Structure 1
Amino acid sequence: MEQLVIAGRWRVYTAVLGYCILSNYYMGFMLCVFAALYYPAVYFGTEKRRDGWWKSCVRFAGASVLSGGISAVVLIPMDGDR
C-alpha cells in the first residue's frame, strides 16, 4: 500500500490482492476492507506523495477492481460440451 501511494507502483498490490481473493475469498474480502480503511491513513500520513489525492485514489480503486477482475477468471464456467 505504501508503494502504491508514495511511488505509484500498483502492480504488486494488484497481484497480491488478486491472489488473496483467488486463494481464499473470505480472507481476500477482509483484505479489501482493510485496504479501503488503510488507504486514507497511508495517504494522509505520508509527506512524500507522488500525485494528487484524486489521481492516487483513482489508481487505488483501479488496481483494486483489476485485482478483483483477475481473480474472477475462476468464476467463468468452462463447459467444453457446447
Structure 2
Amino acid sequence: MSNMALIDIRVTSDERELLEAAARQAHTSLSDFIRHKAVEAAEMQVLDGLVVTIPAADWEKFEAWAKSPARGRAGLQRLAASRPVWQV
C-alpha cells in the first residue's frame, strides 16, 4: 500500500460506533471499511454526474442501434434458464 495519503476526518462518538460495528460485520479494519465505502460513494457520485455526448453526425446511427432488437446471448439465456444455486 505504498502511494497512500492520509485523510483526517472527525465523526461523533455515535458515528464512530456505527462505523466500527459495520467494519466488524464486514470483517475488516475501520480504516479499510471507511476507505472502501468512501471510494465507492465517490465513484457513484462521479458516475452520476457524467454526461454522454453523441456528435450530430453519429446521432442517426445511435438511434438505429437503440431501436434495433436486442441480440440474444447464449450464455445469458442458459444462465436465465438455470436454477439459482440457493434454490438447489
Same fold per TM (> 0.5)? no
Highest CA radius of gyration, 1 or 2?
A: 2
Give the TM-score category using the shorter length: 0.3 to 0.5
TM-score (normalizing by structure 1): 0.38
